[in-house]
Structure 1
Amino acid sequence: MAPAITLAAEAPKLSAANTGFMLICSALVMLMTPGLAFFYGGMVRVKSTLNMLMMSFISLGIVTILWVLFGFSMAFGTDSGHLIGWNSDWIGLSGVDKGELWGTYNIPLLVFMVFQLMFAIITPALISGALADRVKFSAWALFITLWAIVVYFPVAHWVWGEGGWAFDMGVIDFAGGTAVHINAGAAALGVILVIGKRVGFKRDPMRPHSLPLVMLGAGLLWFGWFGFNAGSWLGNDDGVGALMFVNTQVATAAAMLAWLAYEKIRHGAFTTLGAASGAVAGLVAITPSGGAVSPVGAIAVGAIAGVLCAMAVGLKYKFGYDDSLDVVGVHLVGGVVGSLLIGFFASGKGQSEVEGLFYGGGLTQFWKQCAGVFAVLAYSLIVSAILAFILDKTMGMRVSEDEEIAGIDQAEHAETAYDFSGAGGGAAKTAAVAAAVGGAESKKVDA
């Protein structure tokens, strides 16, 4: 028998299947930002609809350019001090070949770059829901530019970049509980504490103007979230992505039902807004944890998040901070809940062998999760508040009170979301009807 020959490990080769899968996932995550725009756009009053849509859409433009020029390098380049990355070859993607693979994975670096770009886009867009009705569009555009550079890019490196302190510590964040949702939720809280409440907060009714639009947005988010979550494993070779896909559906369903049950008990009705908000709360909570828990664990994560987020949205009335569309109550609280529950429900049979308290692993992972959660929360809240304060004192963050009352759409965009004049509405139609009625009455008298 010929002697055995030991071969060196083969270098990874591009996988057409995984590359195609990741391109589809990237497109799904991109769709989430317009979905978020519809979700938020339906939740505001008519006079703020377009502004809400634009606050999400502008992130598609600004963050894309920043990410290509230097953001990707800051988030995923060679580590420096466990805080930030850098790779000069990635500046403007000038030194990246189309066939260059991402590390030891079998997908192109460009595919990983564009997948992570979609995360970078939606994260600042999430903040916008807390600021509805009252922020200058120019100030918002400058804020997300600065925020992406000094908050999102570094935090993404901490959590996902090789050498980042949270990554090296073993903090589990499968798809963005800390880097996306806690980051955005804490930023929202920091900004609203600086810029203050809407005119009429806790006095005037501020109900959603279009619940069908809210449901459409929630449906698009739910659909796109499968790419957001399952795609974060960067392939389909071992079934972890499939587990994440299943857990995403399971936790979202559980959270929606739990939110509705809480609403019925607390307020006596099952609301459409509650169903949509509960679904989003479940999506948020399973984002960090779905690769580590079983489907039964996902039910628990979703149900717990649904109830706690439903309770949390009312805190703004108790404590007096005006979180317009419940970004703090859903994204910050949901992200914290989902991240910390890993320490209890990690099964050791998903993305790693890490086990939580309920599977015999003790509290070791829970304390790691606490470190990641509260460090990101504190950093994002403080830095975001400082940025908002600087902008408010220089260019002014808010529109005038008169413009806010009249409607920010007209003031900032010179447009309105709905124009009924073409259907014969308005003063002209009213005058015509009055004239017709008056003529008819005159004929009756003459007769």
Structure 2
Amino acid sequence: MPDLLPLAATPATAAGDTAWLLAAAALVLLMAPGLAFFYGGMVRSKSVLNMMMMVFGALAVVMVVWVLAGYSLAFGDDIGGGLLGDPTQYLGFRDMLAPDPDADYPITLFAAFQGLFAVITVGLIAGAIADRTRFGTWLLFAGLWTLLVYAPVAHWIFGGGWMQERLGALDFAGGTAVEINSGAAGLAAALVLGRRVGFGRDPMKPHNLTLVMVGAGLLWFGWFGFNAGSALAADNTAAIVFVNTLLAGCTGLLAWLGVERFRDGHATSFGAASGVVAGLVAITPSCGAVTPIGAMLVGVAAGAICALAVGLKYTFRYDDSLDVVGVHLVGGLVGTILIGLLASTSVTGVDGLFYGGGTGQLGRQLVAAGATLVFSFVMTALLLWVLERTVGFRVDPDHEVAGVDLVIHAETAYDLHATGGARPHFGPGTGTLHP
């Protein structure tokens, strides 16, 4: 990601960059309802509202926590040897409201844009523990996880921390902080909370593939703000990133469908939606480092590998409800590591191994990916263990079987039987309908 506040901006440049960042932030916000639709269609009908509420609840909690302390921890001046930002520097967005005539965009806009990244990251974790969590505890987890896990990793790679400044790892828009982080957290959450009632025995298929496809489309649309917006300018870099994001989504879709067709004999709509997301996940860290051909290769690798990886939960018996591990952890690892192979100086300042750059950048990408995975997994497991044993995280098994929509929210997604009003009847001998 470029420097926080580029200087010497002309009025026209500043206005254009601000306008683009405003639009990009709105696109990232759109990813939250997109994720709610995507996840909502993937669960069973008895828990679709709860799944959507987990995503929307995360949006509300994370943004409040981000303004109060999260942004300072992630982007404040380093106070811990590259590990953490000053938690009081921007407390409540203080001292950030005055305009800076030398800046390309307001710092408050950048801070809100980055906060929406945190929102999506936390929302992704919800998919790993669908159907079986207490909503109130989930909201508490969302706030604590933002401060204890997301903000430190964001500081490492985006806020001037050790991964960015000392290691020299490349991550344009969040392969580490968003994708690997959420995937590792999802794995920890699935293991700590345990499997759903009936996992491996009962069919747990997506209840509404139309919602899944709509959600995937909204996510793809919003992802242009996520990736191209991370250029922080309306410039050539943003254009290259836009093209790379588009191409990786396309090839991710095709590769996933190819695996399905070869393995199962059918190319499914669910596979198409999942393939798009897998390609987008993998291109997130690499979109500012690879050429368009490289972006297509990233998408192919992610689509094929993730299509195979989602089945690992049945082999190893962990219940990752909506394939957060198989798509976001594995896809994030693919995209982050492939920078070390496919990066090109025609796009960024580094050549990967396939462009004659040697193994140095590949090693740096491996360290960044591994450190994020281990930190997120361990911290998330500890946080969940504490919450489960204090306030309780998992719902009662009987409530899980009955459906968390009805038990927790006193609602159902689909009212298929009308219950109000009197039954109409025909008047005697008139053929006229009377109330």
Letter of the 2:76 partner, please give it: G
Instruction: Quote the residue 2:179 is aligned against.
Output: 181
Change over 3 Å in CA distance of 1:194–1:163 after alignment to 2: closer
Residues matched between the structures, number: 416
- Tell me the TM-score normalised to structure 1 length: 0.90
Cα distance in 2 between the residues matched to 1:89 and 1:328: 35
Secondary structure, counterpart of 1:260 in structure 2: helix
Measured in 2, the distance between the counterparts of 1:23 and 1:344 equals 33
Partner of 1:100: 100
Within a 5 Å distance, the mapping from 1:337-352 to structure 2 comes to 337-350=334-347, 352=348
Letter in 1 for 2:286: S
For 2:203, what is the secondary structure of its paired residue? coil
- Equivalent residue letter for 2:50: N
2:358 match: secondary structure: coil
For 1:240-389, what aligned pairs fall within 5 Å after superposition? 240-350=237-347, 352-389=348-385
Deviations 1:75-118 (A, max 9, x none): 001012100111644111121134137xx851111111111011
Distance of 2:353 and 2:77 partners within structure 1: 34
Equivalent position amino acid for 1:319 in 2: F
Q: Distance in 2 between matches of 1:213 and 1:98?
A: 43
Letter of the 2:285 partner, please give it: P
For 1:218 and 1:263, the matched residues in 2 are separated by: 18
- Structure 1 distance, partners of 2:193, 2:408, is 18
Looking at structure 1, the residues matched to 387 and 295 of structure 2 have their Cα atoms a distance apart, in angstroms, of: 41
Residue identity matched to 1:251: A
What letter corresponds to residue 26 of structure 1 in structure 2? A
Deviation, 1:12, is 3.6
- What pairs up with 1:45-124 in 2 under 5 angstroms? 45-80=44-79, 81-86=81-86, 88-100=88-100, 106-124=104-122
Cα distance in 2 between the residues matched to 1:100 and 1:86: 21
Alpha-carbon RMSD? 1.8
Question: Could you tell me which residue of structure 1 aligns to residue 199 of structure 2?
Answer: 201
Q: Is the 8 A contact 2:344 2:355 kept in 1?
A: yes
Residues 98 and 110, structure 1, Cα contact 8 Å, conserved in 2: no
Q: Secondary structure at the match of 1:85?
A: coil
Question: Hey, what does 2:429 align to over in structure 1?
Answer: none
Give 1:244's aligned amino acid: V
Q: What secondary structure, in the 3-state scheme, does the structure 2 residue paired with 1:317 have?
A: helix
How far residue 395 of structure 1 moved from its aligned partner, in angstroms, is 1.6
Q: Is the 8 A contact 2:7 2:104 kept in 1?
A: no
Cα separation, 1, equivalents of 2:186 and 2:161: 28
My pick for the range that moved more, 382-391 or 81-90, is: 81-90
Determine the structure 2 residue equivalent to 1:29.
28
For 1:126, the equivalent position in structure 2 comes to 124
- The AA in structure 1 aligned to 2:60 is G
CA contact 1:25–1:228 (8 Å) conserved in 2: yes
Structure 2: distance between partners of 1:226 and 1:188 = 24
Q: Find the counterpart in structure 1 of residue 432 from structure 2.
A: none
Residue of structure 1 aligned with 2:216, choices 202, 218, 229: 218
Give the CA deviation at 1:34: 0.8
For the 8 Å contact 1:85–1:157, the answer to whether it is kept is yes
On the 8 A contact 1:285/1:339 being kept in 2, the answer is: yes
Secondary structure (helix, strand or coil) at the match of 2:85 reads: strand
CA distance in 2, matches of 1:164, 1:72: 17
Q: Matched residues in 2 for 1:236 and 1:163: separation?
A: 26
Runs of 4+ with >2 A deviation: 9-14, 163-168, 421-425
Q: What secondary structure sits across from 2:78 in the alignment?
A: strand
Is contact 2:7–2:103 with CA below 8 Å preserved after alignment?
Answer: no
